[in-house]
């Protein structure tokens, strides 16, 4: 099955899985769906791993992101999706995923519940060539500066999710 024909989980406005549809239909009709996304931090918590998306990505090509993740497949949980995408995109396996929050993207072209998780990792990264061009560690201050700079080429929903993460981290 090609990427546009894969079956993905459909969600309702409240964030509950309610069915399935081909990925191409979800994109064409702007249907509610979900994503499992993971913020990878160094074990000391002082840095976050960011990666540059390939120019061939169907959504937000050639932009930076601090979330490894993707669309929840039919029959898959958001956590299973996050774990699968973390392994596929960055080659990270066997880490504990800490649930964070759900942030919603509804920007006129994408309607998605982003189930956010955090993982700690100091190992090597193995980028999936079809999805990731390069990656690097940023300190928390560097990441916040990138996110707050409207000229930075950062994935829009990733930016909003990371700013929400900073807001919640500051409250702890």
Binding residues for Mg(2+), as ranges, are: 85, 89
Residues 6+ apart with CB under 8 A from 154: 63, 64, 65, 146, 147
Angle, vertex CA 138, rays to CA 134 and CA 139, nearest 5: 170
How is residue 154 annotated by DSSP? B
How is residue 109 annotated by DSSP? S
Binding-site residues: 85, 89
């Amino acid at each position: 099955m090609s990427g546009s024909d894969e079956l993905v989980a459909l969600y309702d406005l409240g964030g509950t899985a309610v069915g399935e549809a081909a990925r191409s239909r979800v994109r064409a009709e702007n249907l509610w769906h979900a994503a499992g996304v993971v913020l990878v931090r160094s074990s000391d918590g002082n840095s976050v791993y960011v990666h540059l998306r390939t120019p061939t990505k169907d959504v937000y090509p050639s932009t930076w992101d601090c979330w490894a993740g993707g669309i929840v497949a039919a029959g898959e949980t958001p956590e299973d999706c996050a774990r699968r995408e973390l392994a596929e995109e960055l080659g990270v396996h066997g880490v504990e995923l800490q649930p964070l929050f759900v942030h919603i993207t509804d920007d006129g072209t994408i309607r998605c519940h982003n189930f956010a998780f955090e993982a700690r990792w100091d190992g090597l990264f193995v980028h999936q060539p079809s999805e990731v061009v390069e990656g690097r560690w940023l300190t928390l201050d560097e990441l916040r500066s990138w996110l707050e700079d409207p000229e930075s080429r950062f994935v829009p929903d990733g930016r909003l999710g990371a700013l929400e993460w900073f807001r919640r981290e500051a409250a702890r």
